[in-house]
Structure formats: C-alpha cells, structure tokens
Amino acid sequence: MSTYVNTSVQHENELSQYKGVLVLGEQRDGKILSVTFELLTRGRALANDLGCELSCVLLGDHIDNLEEVVKRGADKVYFIKDASLKNFLPRPYSNAIVKLCRELKPEIIVAAATTTGRTVMPLVTSKLETGLTADCTELTIDPETKILLQTRPAIGGNIMATIKTPNHRPQMATVRPKSAKPAPIDPSRTGEVIVKEYEGATFFTPEKFLEYIKDTTQEVSIEEADIIVAGGKGMKNADGFKMVEELARILGAGVGATRDAVELGWTTYPHQIGLSGKTVSPKLYFAFGISGKIQHLAGMQTSEVIVAVDKDPDALIFRVADYGIVGDVFEVVPMLIEAFKKLKANA
C-alpha cells in the first residue's frame, strides 16, 4: 500500500470553515438513478465517522420523489432547478455545483465515476482549486486526523494507493458504480429538501444537447443485469467463449469477460469487468475459466452469489466464490447449459 499527499496549502482558519459531506446524485428524465443511492451509502458512512451532516445535490428541470433521497440517508437534499439542466451538459452542471459548494463549503465531495461524474468533477475541482482522486474503490476517514483516505488502484492495478489531501478543501473523489450497495429506505428518516434557483448566466454554454443514444452492443447491460455469465482465458478460444454467450442467452443474463478475453478478441470492451473495465454487482455471477486476478476481482466481488468453475483448485477466484467447482469448464459448462435448457422448457 502506497500513500500520496496533495501538498497544496490553505490557511488553517480557512480549512475549519468546511463542514459536512456532499454527494453528487444523478437523474435521467426526472428519475433518480440507482448510483445516487450507492453514493448515499458511502456518504452516510463518512458523515457518521465525522459526526456531520450528509447532503445530496441533484440537478434537473424536474425530479420525482426527492424525499426518497432523505429516506435513504441524506440529511439535506439540494435540487438545483432550471430548464437547461434537463440533460447533462458539463458547463451548466459544473457552474451550478460550484455555486452551491461556495455557499455550503462541504469538507468532502463524492461523485460516481460515471460519464457525468468523470466529466463534471474535474471542472468543479479546477474551479474550487483543490484536488481530485478518481475511480476510488474505498473511502475512509483517518481516525486521528479526520482526513479522507482515498484508495484506488495504481500501476496497472498492481498496487493500491491511498491518497489524502490534508491541506486543502474540499476533499474530492469519484467512486466506481456498483462498488457499494444502494442505501436502504428508512421510512422513519426526516430531512430537508431545498430547491435552489440561480441566475440564467450560470447555465450559459455554447454546447447543445442533441440526443441520448443507448448502447445497443449488449443484449443485456452487464451494469444492470441481475445475472452475469463471465468467461476468462480458461475458455481457450473464441469458440469456447461461445458457451459463455449461450448460457447467458438461456438465462437472460449479461455476458461478462476478463481483460484477457477482450484483448484476445473473443468479445468486445463493453463486456469487460475489472479495474480496467466495469464494476458490477449482480445477484448471481458465474465465473468460468477465470483465475481470479485482483484486477478482475475488484470489478465483481460485491456480487451477491458467485459460482466459479476452474480446473486449478488454488485459483484465487475460489476465495471469493460462494460455490466452487474444481473441474474442466468444457465438461461443466455444457452440463449447465443442458440443465438450464430443461428447466426452462419445463417452466
């Protein structure tokens, strides 16, 4: 584990003005996205450790059921409302978030490492003249200094680096979607929903939103799938990998792959799971011919149930698997395909 320190300095009196944790929620077409509730899990833990308030900011022209954000852990919900915020554009979003942050002075800001988060957070960071740690896998509070410890993979995933910003505020980080469970609803929770409206100049931008194009390269998106069937280098070749795809079709599951399988051309990058791909958390994850390198495990180990098949009894994948079969994937997978075909036919 390596530790890096951001050495930029603010005056100690300035630092003491910053209080609270703020998470950047996301919406599409007025519906709050589940990644918001994952961020509330992260934010609530940090706020509890610091003994401070947790706030959530959402931007849009209208958003349904803002009270749910309170029920899932926020003490305050800030809704920045303007017709120009219906769809995400970097400049209006970043300008509005910066305005709010200058009012609230949060000690910590956390966003998801989504297209929105990865685009807007560097702009906000630059305008607030602080630092940003991207793609964190863990966020904790140092019990002695109360500084945010931001852990993320480095050097191709071979080490985990912990980064901290002791001399500047706010401390800012993005975390991978699906790396935490969504915060549950607590009907007894109470809090405030505050609508913020800023002058029109805040939302000026030369860019124009044209359309949202959905990814059609996957029959079932692995980020949203309840079941994922994934294959690794142990599938031997493209023909072997077709068994993974066949079982996925039978189960109505998403197709996942290791970096090796993608680089060998057996499937495409949108299916890649791991530090250099996507992070997933399905209800059921099948891992076929996957040894269990840390780069892959980091992208799927929060799955509810993991079933692994590999011929090596010492494969690392078995350390995280709930059910493991030590055997030849070319014997086991065809048996599973036939078994699920019969179950489907009988159903």
Q: Check whether 200 has a pLDDT greater than 90.
A: no
Mean pLDDT of 21-45: 95
Structural domain including 340 reads 222-346
Mean pLDDT of 219-230: 87
Stated pTM of the model: 0.75
**Upper half-sphere CA count for residue 154 (Cβ side, 13 Å):** 14
Q: Is residue 100 part of a domain?
A: yes
Whether residue 199 is found in the same domain as residue 251: no
Whether residue 282 is found in the same domain as residue 134: no
Whether residue 157 is found in the same domain as residue 244: no
Whether residue 174 is found in the same domain as residue 56: yes
pLDDT, tens digit (0-9, with 9 covering 90-100), for 87-113: 898 899 999 999 999 999 999 999 998
The single residue listed with the structure tokens 């209208």 is: 62
**Final residue before a domain boundary, out of 144, 168, 203:** 203
Q: What is the pLDDT of residue 1?
A: 55
58-67, 155-164, 201-210, 277-286: the lowest-pLDDT one: 155-164
Assign 295 a pLDDT band (cuts: 50, 70, 90): confident
Structural domain count of the chain: 2
Q: Is residue 11 part of a domain?
A: no
Whether residue 330 is found in the same domain as residue 258: yes
Whether residue 163 is found in the same domain as residue 282: no
Q: Is residue 208 part of a domain?
A: no
Mean pLDDT of 269-289: 91
Whether residue 51 is found in the same domain as residue 192: yes
Q: Is residue 216 part of a domain?
A: no
Q: What is the pLDDT of residue 176?
A: 85
For every residue of 169-219, DSSP letters joined together read SSEEEEE-TTSSPPPPP-TT---EEEEE---GGGG--S----------S-S
Assign 296 a pLDDT band (cuts: 50, 70, 90): very high
Q: Check whether 32 has a pLDDT greater than 70.
A: yes
Q: What is the pLDDT of residue 153?
A: 76
pLDDT, tens digit (0-9, with 9 covering 90-100), for 131-161: 999 988 899 999 999 999 998 877 666 678 8
Whether residue 145 is found in the same domain as residue 247: no
Q: Is residue 134 part of a domain?
A: yes
The long-range contacts involving 133-139, CB below 8 angstroms and separated by at least 24 positions, are 133/163, 133/172, 133/173, 133/174, 134/173, 134/174, 135/174, 135/175, 135/176, 136/173, 136/174, 136/175, 136/176, 137/175, 137/176, 137/179, 137/298, 139/42, 139/45, 139/46, 139/110, 139/173, 139/175
Q: Is residue 299 part of a domain?
A: yes
Q: Is residue 1 part of a domain?
A: no
Q: What is the pLDDT of residue 17?
A: 79
Whether residue 252 is found in the same domain as residue 306: yes
The amino acid sitting at 9 is V
Whether residue 241 is found in the same domain as residue 177: no
Q: What is the pLDDT of residue 218?
A: 63
Q: Check whether 178 has a pLDDT greater than 90.
A: no
- Cβ–Cβ under 8 Å, residues 13 and 24: no
Whether residue 234 is found in the same domain as residue 93: no
Q: Smallest Cα–Cα separation from 309: which of 235, 223, 254, 245?
A: 235
Mean pLDDT of all residues belonging to the chain: 90
Radius of gyration over every alpha carbon of the chain, rounded to an integer in angstroms: 22
CATH number, domain containing residue 33: 3.40.50.620
pLDDT, tens digit (0-9, with 9 covering 90-100), for 48-79: 999 999 999 999 999 999 999 999 999 999 99
Q: Check whether 6 has a pLDDT greater than 80.
A: no
CATH number, domain containing residue 316: 3.40.50.1220
Q: For helices 329-346 and 238-251, give the axis angle rounded to 10 degrees.
A: 20
Q: Tell me how far apart the alpha carbons of residues 89 and 179 are, in angstroms, rounded to a whole number.
A: 25
Q: What percent of the chain has pLDDT over 70?
A: 94
pLDDT, tens digit (0-9, with 9 covering 90-100), for 300-320: 988 999 999 999 999 999 999
Whether residue 27 is found in the same domain as residue 143: yes
Q: Is residue 228 part of a domain?
A: yes
